[in-house]
A = this chain, B = another copy of it.
Amino acid sequence: MKHQVTIKDIAEKLGVSTSTVSRSLKDHPDISVKTRNAVKELAKLLGYKPNLIALNLKNSSTNTIGLLVPEIDHHFFSTIINGIEEVAYQNNFNVLIVQSNESYLREVLNTQALLGNRVDGMLASFSKETKDFSHFQQLIDNEIPLVFYDRAIDKFHADIVVVDDYSGAYDAVNHLLNRGCRRIAFYSAPQHLLLGKDRLQGYINALEHHNIVYDKNLVYSCDTFESAVKISTSILKKVDRPDGVFAVNDLTAIGVMKTAKLLGIKIPEELKVVGFENSKSAGICEPELTSVDQFGYNLGKKAMSILLSRIKNESINYVPIKHVIKTKLMVRASS
């Protein structure tokens, strides 16, 4: 890499001091118009670009936020990222994206890296593996604003933006019940996530509301396409097989449908299926999948807005807020 043009280079070439150059570039009135123009002209000619690293160091603020995402290659998260970037972009903030790839170790390392890079704030959604959260405590200790999105725990002094998992699940199950289902299986996420608990509660409450006893044998821990395909064959072969499935995400739901079709089970006549995410796949699979839209883009925007306000306000002792993004059930052919 070549030496990049600096203020000093310009100063030397023009026989003035660096301060004069700096002020000229910002049109400071103390500097004569003649000098100002000369400086600006040469700067342009040489292709001068201010060194943001130096600026960051000086200002001890980087205008950068760190974004921890479990998996970028996941439609829900990438729409969230888009929402985040939209707001960041409008406010001249950079976004440093790091991935955990659902690995705890990688998450910790990446969080350290963000700390080292002195991000002004952080948006985080932790990995499925994460049980220990002390790497986030370091941010809190340094009073670096932290907002958890989607996957959250509430024992931190941090804001939270989550999908309304409870209502989303309730609506989905309620819908299945209204369509006549009586034995609804729930393919669920790990229970240590707030998300997992809330959706289960929505599932249970919807059942209760229809006077159906909750049968925990109908709840499976299964949240990927592959595992859904794997476990569904035996589930769907039972005599008392479910007549409805509510899955924690679309791909899982599609895995169920795939297996059902292989077994000759008609959807939606004999089995109704609802997913969660309203991904592109929901509109592509056959039959098209009824799914809960999580509005990831809005979630991202909201999370970034909250983070920004925290960064700007600097009010140390704020009380953390929890913002819930409303969901919407998109009914399609699968139910």
Contacts and interface: CB of A to CB of B under 8 A. Distances in A.
Interface of A: 1-2, 4, 47, 49-54, 56-57, 61-62, 72-75, 78-79, 81-82, 85, 89, 94-97, 99, 101, 106, 112-113, 115-118, 120, 138, 141-145, 251, 254, 280-281, 284-286, 314
A78 B85 contact: no
A96 B99 contact: no
B118 A53 contact: yes
Contacts of A96: 94, 96
Nearest to A116: B52
A277 B49 CA distance: 39
Complex copy number for this chain? 2
Contacts of A47: 138, 141-142
Given A1-B61, A285-B286, 5 more contacts: A47-B142, A53-B117, A72-B72, A251-B284, A285-B285
A4 B280 contact: no
Contact of A49 (B94, B116, B280): B116
A259 to B, nearest CB: 13
A315 B133 CA distance: 44
Most B CB contacts (10 A, CB to CB) among A72, A75, A96, A281 go to: A72
Nearest to A52: B116
15 contacts: A1-B144, A2-B141, A4-B142, A49-B116, A50-B116, A52-B116, A53-B57, A53-B117, A53-B118, A72-B81, A82-B99, A82-B101, A85-B99, A95-B97, A285-B285
